[in-house]
Structure 1
Amino acid sequence: MDIPKTPSGFDAAELSALLDGRWAGVRAEVREALAGLDLSPGDDLDTEAHRARTLEQLGMVARSGAIDYGFPAEHGGGGDVGGSVVALEMLPGNLSLMVKSGVQWGLFGGAVVALGTERHHERYLHDIMRLELPGCFAMTESGHGSDVQSLRTTATYDPDAGEFVVHTPHEAARKEYIGNAARDGRMAVVFAQLITGGKGHGVHALMVPLRDAEGRPMPGVHIEDTGRKAGLNGVDNGRITFDRVRVPREALLNRYGDVEPDGTYRSPIAGANKRFFTMLGTLIRGRIAVSGTAGGATKLALEIALRYGDTRRQFPRPGTDEEAVLLDYRGHQRKLLPALARTFALHFAQEDLVSTLHDVQGGGDERAQRALESRAAGLKALSTWHATATIQACREACGGAGYIAENQLAGLKADTDVFTTFEGDNTVLLQLVAKGLLTGYKDQFGDLSPLGMVRFVADRFVGAVAERTAARSLVQRLIAAAPGKDDEDVIFDRGWQLAMFDDREKHVLDGLGRRLRGAGSDDAFEVFNNAQDHVLHAARVHVERSVLESFVAAIDRCRDRDVAAVLERLCDLFALSAIEQDRGWFLEHERITPRRSKSITAAVNALCGALRPHAVELVTAFGVPRQWLTAPIATGAEERRQREMREHDTAPPTE
């Protein structure tokens, strides 16, 4: 099959600049700041030594200043929310260090910034930034993970003492999986049901000391070590229970709700539901960071596998004595190059998401904040699932070498596996995306029960889709200019690809709306539960459409003709491989014919062949810091190529 022309070469520096994007300066500064530090992972160590090494490395990162971007400028930070997320992306080669950094500065420090007021900032932020106060983010409980609103830990105000009593009423209320808890944390942001005057006011956060200066648990604080995990063993996860632990009234992070000395509760936000979702919305940075760091690990894995595949030889070519390079096999290209194209697409979508976070966070626009939360949930789900699938494909593509620890892929696989469930289980997150699509979120966060949601669907889902599509002028221009559907080369037309993604999303949403419309008060849960497959598909196709549009917008920003042309082919590969992957839906709904389905498969094959010569250069353009690329199968690629060429030249003739 003939495909649009792919340049024979391109300016790699121009592509790297485009990929570095809005925070190119932050990426460059972090690369420089970390370059001379020994941040190598300690996966070969026992648990205690690994944890000690990770804490030591955390101190190096703190002293380098690479984590200061997200903290307020008046307290010594950079005042750059987007920069703080990007900085974490630069640690893909030591994911225990990345996660521990995220806990300390993203979750613990971020919660103090977002939920606290000046008294908390003044008292805690300097010590948090410099790692003089190691901390935890104690939200998840044994009985409630994703359902944060139903947490059972209590914080009951005692007006006579002017203190809150933090208590774990039963085992299901135990704080679970808490990073930094088992060994290093001295303070925790604890999420609990706030009770004053016998009345509950929903979940709030308090600063609760865990250990004294000598590292001993504080009275009433009981800590258990979670022990060894499938990965991330440099992170000291633990379980925490509180036995009537008293903290002063000022320990309440009181930006959105405060308690007067006499026990009177005050909040600038009316309504417990709205207050809860507003508080949680300020903590969205952690979820976005997980998406970005999953992308960083995916890029590293792809670079290892592609460098290896570009030099490893296997089986002679017919009629010659020369063995073929793995990456010349179409099956090998199929394993890695569509994944590389999707990684590019997700990179640009992540860049757009971080920009939105930076511009929207704290701006007071509730509608924009809700949209941000939905996008963050969806992209986190797709990015982490993509990381899991791609790292596994990279491991297989490297054969037995991919299973050897020194070649990094086994560690990357183990350390990223939990990304699909922490900072929100992916299935639950896609339900959140679907709920946002269907309801547009109620203005006052009223009835969010299944019945309330179902009743709201019928009137709102069509309007939500119309509003969502109205602002996409570039996309609409491309769709309007698409050639007729019977045109032989239409599958390479960007407008046709966008229309396919857009039409699929609208159709899936329309069908879901019809399925839910007839639900009543006595069967709402059952109706919604029975439609889970449809709900999750609706969310997936919505996010995938958004990712494609981010890729298209990035190409539009590119001013280098050859770079843009290579990106065009990568975008073709992403779009067409996505259609191929969901071809069952497109065929069942008569969006493509069987003949066109075969043409799409042929096009994916042809695009893999056209992009194969550029594969290593493309993945290198992501700019993963060189200190993280340690796998001998990748770092010794060129030397191995030269050695194999010499051996081939002197090899004895075969009979």
Structure 2
Amino acid sequence: MATDLGVARDAAPEHTVAPDPAALQRILDGKYAEVRDLVRRNLVEHADLLGEVDDLDRETYRDRVLAIVQQVAATGQTGFGFPEEHGGGGDIGASIAAFETLAFGDLSVLVKVGVQFGLFGGAVLQLGTQRHHAAYLPGIIDGTILGSFAMTESGHGSNVQALATTATYDVATDEFVVETPHDAARKDYIGNAARHGELAVVFAQLHIGGESQGVHAFIVPIRVRDDAGELVPAPGVRIEDCGHKMGLQGVDNGRLWFDGVRIPRENLLDRFATVSPAGVYSSEIESPGRRFFTTIGTLVQGRVSVGGAGINAAKVAMVLAVRYAERRRQFEATGEQEELLLDYGQHQRRLLPLLAQTYALHVAQEDLAAELHAVFSGEKTDGRSRRALESHAAGLKAVGTWHATRTIQECREACGGAGYLSASRFAALKADTDVFTTFEGDNHVLLQLVAKGLLTDYAGDFQDADQFEMVKLVAGIALDEIVKRTRAHQLLDRVRDLLPTGAEGEDEAGLLDTDYQLAMLRYREEQVISSAARRLKRGVDSGMNPGAVFSQVQPHVIAAARAHMDRVVQEAFVARVAGLEDGPEKRALGLLVDLNALRMIEADRAWFMESGRMSAARSKAVRREVDALCRRVRPIARQLVDAFGVPEEVLRAPDLLGPVVTAGDPPAVGHEPGHHTQGETAERVAESA
């Protein structure tokens, strides 16, 4: 079925009209435009913090961040995702929109909000029952009950099932006894723990009568007030500051140890399992593996939030770099006047494909947030929808945060020495987002989760399967069945049909066909998944241990997940643009659809050539088309970044955004250097094309 963007790609360039940034912003902000605007106003109100951070000592910075978080909570923006009966807004989609928009500002504030309302509050909401909601949610929502999310241990991060902290039920006192058995079991990197947290949701192995029931979550007080009213560590709780970090100095990360800490039986968050006063354990989910995955799956909102925050932090970097490149001149390339940086082909190549990818990821993130809302609001109740959500969230968190890391670095370099100044925000953006690639799970581990879903689809629904069981499941399928179940052989003919003359073309014809672009991405995905499955099967069939097989094939497994996410993101982008009304905004976004697709195909040209899907001549044609698309996007780059709606007050980069004037080159009257009027932009579109 043809995918029609409704964009006349071969229209005469002189007919191109620049998009309206405000109209583009309305498209990007979507149904939660009012929510995003509320956050923008709050960011402007507290923007002074961005200019003061370097002069604040750590504890003052942390207290300022806490004060801002509590002030923001009073506006209601941090409570959108909680039930209305407890003072929230009852809209998880709005909560995600608010959180990711907060990434335009100080990221310590963002992470503090994420810990308090997303991780701590989300765990109480999703894992607790009505009594926990009534007791804790109102205070969590208004910021008067401060808490931590104590899952990660020094010895165990991603492998949550192997956590060593214990919670042993004492039937004589109707209490759980929480214990840190050894130093590797200390809870580590815990936000809100070193200074401000009073409670923690602690994940621990539940022991009853000498038998382990697996990992469960408990509410544990970590601080109490002494006779003078000061907060001090609770009895049996040892707290240590993690110390100076690469970034996020405004977040009080700490370490926690528990030495025989007693908590009431009611402090077990018992949505999925209960313990009676007599010590009888019961759960509606009989399988321990499924129970664990169900418990962890309810916390997927954290991954969705972190991925969205990374994408929005990348937007800030894009705004700074593009606007600087439209003002800064360097060398006399075409005449007596020095050339603007963004008029150089290499500078366009550095920035504009990343801009296209940022737009594509934004759209995919919106779709993911809508999935989350549908599942958590009860609109979708089937298990397949929840598992699809978990996989989608893991994959987009990985690609979104990696994109942030790469984009911020490239944009910093593109701004030269001016970008190296702390006042230009890149220092904070780089330092504060670097941990996003390991927040909420290491990105490579998350891609393994995505790949597990792709591979076990070959053998049916095996949600409980760990990676080694997955290997054995795949190995149990006949090789010809693996080939049969892949769509790659079907896509092969479709790709050929889309190429000029039904074979490998020697020029640019057909490269801007959306069906061709998607078919290439789908073909690669199916081939890589099939290849990974065949490698897993051959390894087990040869007598290798499943664990050794998985380790050996792991790079192919992760490549399959990456290819899958490339396709998912591009399909989302295509669908969104195809649904817009025709006009300058749709045509501008159509250029970005093409640029993002060909960017991915170009980046993996070697694979396509090895697989016989691209000739050397076609490969060169792809490269030329990416260059041409960059030239066509260049005149509207300013409008495209303005559409992100990053408030001027939070950009705070005078050396990047202030006037950059060379001798004998005064700024034009009426508008900033490099900031073209709509008429001028249309002329530049015609010239560049």
Q: Do they superpose with TM above 0.5? A: yes
Shift of 1:622: 1.6
Q: Within 2, Cα distance between the matches of 1:416 and 1:546? A: 24
2:271 is matched by which residue type in structure 1?
R
1:120–1:152 Cα change, 3 Å: same
Give the equivalent residue in structure 2 for 1:653.
none
The AA in structure 2 aligned to 1:29 is L
Match of 1:63 among 49, 74, 89: 74
Say which SS state the counterpart of residue 90 (structure 1) adopts.
helix
Query: Counterpart of 1:277 in structure 2: which amino acid?
Result: F
**3-state secondary structure, aligned to 1:212:** strand
What's the counterpart of residue 337 of structure 2? 322
SS at match of 1:166: strand
Report which stretch shifted further, 17-26 or 80-89.
17-26
**Equivalent of 2:616 in 571, 578, 594:** 594
CA contact (8 A) 2:164 2:180 kept: yes
Aligned partner of 2:562 among 540, 544, 548: 540
Aligned in 2, Cα 1:643/1:584: closer, same or farther, shift over 3 Å?
same
Report what 1:559 is aligned to. 581
SS in structure 2 opposite 1:100?
helix
Deviates further, 289-298 or 584-593: 584-593
2:471 corresponds to which residue?
453
What is the aligned counterpart of 1:20 among 1, 13, 29? Answer: 29
What residue in structure 2 maps to residue 344 of structure 1? 359
**Deviation at residue 448 of structure 1 after TM alignment:** 2.2
Distance 2:210 2:496 in 1: 59
The answer to whether the 8 A contact 2:363-2:573 is kept is: yes
Contact 1:75-1:122 within 8 A present in 2 as well: yes
CA distance in 1, matches of 2:574, 2:585: 13
**Distance of 1:460 and 1:574 partners within structure 2:** 37
Deviation, 1:633, is 3.5
Cα offset for 1:570? 0.7
Distance 2:279 2:410 in 1: 57
Give the 3 Å change call, closer, same or farther, for CA 605–359 of structure 1 in structure 2.
same
Deviation digits for residues 193-246 of structure 1, max 9, x if unmatched?
A: 111122211111000001013210001000110001000000010110100100
1:143 equivalenced with 2:159 (yes/no): no
Unaligned runs of 5+ in 2: 1-7, 670-689
Q: Which of residues 343, 348, 361 is equivalent to 1:333?
A: 348
Describe the shift of the 1:461–1:134 C-alpha distance in structure 2 as closer, same or farther (beyond 3 A): farther
Amino acid at match of 2:343: D
Distance 1:457 1:96, change over 3 A: farther
Corresponding residue number in structure 1 for 2:628: 606
Would the aligned equivalents of 1:451 and 1:519 in 2 still touch at CA under 8 Å?
no
Between the aligned partners of 1:477 and 1:131, the Cα distance in structure 2 is 56
Opposite residue 183 of structure 1, the aligned amino acid is R
Superposed CA deviations along residues 77-127 of structure 1, whole A, max 9, x for unmatched, are: 011111111111112221000001000000000110000011001000111
Match of 1:176 in 2: 188
The whole-number CA distance in structure 2 between the counterparts of 1:89 and 1:557 is 24
Is 1:295–1:387's contact at 8 Å kept on the other side of the alignment?
Answer: yes
For 1:47, give the aligned amino acid.
R
Query: For residue 189 of structure 1, what is the amino acid of its counterpart?
Result: V
Quote the Cα distance in structure 1 between the aligned partners of 2:480 and 2:21: 44
Whether the 8 Å contact between 1:310 and 1:326 is mirrored in structure 2 is: yes
1:523 to 538, 545, 568: 545
Encode CA deviations 1:395-419: one digit per residue, 9 max, x unaligned.
0000000100000011101111111
| Contact 2:504–2:618 (Cα < 8 Å) also in 1 | no
Match of 2:118 in 1: 106
Match of 2:276 among 260, 269, 275: 260
Mapping for residues 41-440 of structure 1, pairs under 5 Å: 41=50, 42-44=52-54, 45-92=56-103, 93-213=105-225, 214-318=230-334, 320-361=335-376, 362=378, 363-440=380-457
Asked whether the 8 Å contact 2:58–2:249 carries over to 1, the reply is yes
**In the aligned structure 2, how far is the partner of 1:13 from the partner of 1:463?**
52
Structure 2 residue aligned with 1:646: 666
Aligned partner letter, 1:16: Q
CA distance in 2, matches of 1:305, 1:168: 48
Matched letter for residue 608 of structure 2: F
Please give the per-residue CA displacement for 1:298-341, whole angstroms capped at 9, x wherever unaligned. 000000010000000111134x3201011111111111000000
Following superposition, the deviation at residue 480 of structure 1 comes to: 8.1
The residue type paired with residue 420 of structure 2 is: Y
C-alpha deviations, 1:593-632, integer Å up to 9, x for none?
1111111111111111111011111011122233321111
Aligned-residue offset at 1:164: 0.4
- Aligned length in residues: 640
For the residues of structure 1 that align with 2:644 and 2:667, how far apart are their CA atoms? 33
Q: CA deviation at 1:469?
A: 8.2
SS in 2 for 1:206: strand
> Contact 2:237 / 2:261 at 8 angstroms: preserved in 1?
yes
Q: Quick one: distance in 2 between partners of 1:186 and 1:485?
A: 67
Contact kept, 8 Å, 1:128 with 1:134, in 2: the verdict is yes
Offset of residue 24 of structure 1: 2.2
CA distance in 2, matches of 1:503, 1:458: 24
In the superposition, relative to structure 1, how do residues 204 and 310 fare at CA in structure 2: closer, same or farther (>3 Å)? same
Alignment CA distance shift 1:184-1:478 (3 Å)? farther
Higher mean C-alpha displacement, 373-382 vs 29-38: 29-38
The answer for unaligned runs of 5 or more in structure 1 is: 471-475, 650-655
For residues 40 and 644 of structure 1, what CA distance do their matches in structure 2 show?
A: 38
TM-score by length of 1: 0.93
Task: Tell me, yes or no, if the aligned pair for 1:478 and 1:494 is still in contact at 8 Å.
Answer: no
Pairwise CA RMSD of aligned residues?
2.6
The answer (yes or no) to whether the contact 1:51–1:233 under 8 Å persists in 2 is: yes
Deviation at 1:444, TM superposition (A): 6.0
Contact 2:200 2:219 in 1 (8 A): yes
* Displacement of 1:564: 1.3
- Counterpart CA distance in 2 for 1:100 and 1:460 is 50
Which is further off, 560-569 or 118-127?
Answer: 560-569
Query: 1:643 Cα deviation (Å)?
Result: 9.4
3-state SS of paired residue (1:43):
helix
**C-alpha separation between the residues in 2 aligned to 1:502 and 1:459?**
23
| Bigger mean CA offset, 48-57 vs 119-128 | 48-57
Q: What is the distance in 1 between the residues matched to 2:299 and 2:147? A: 16
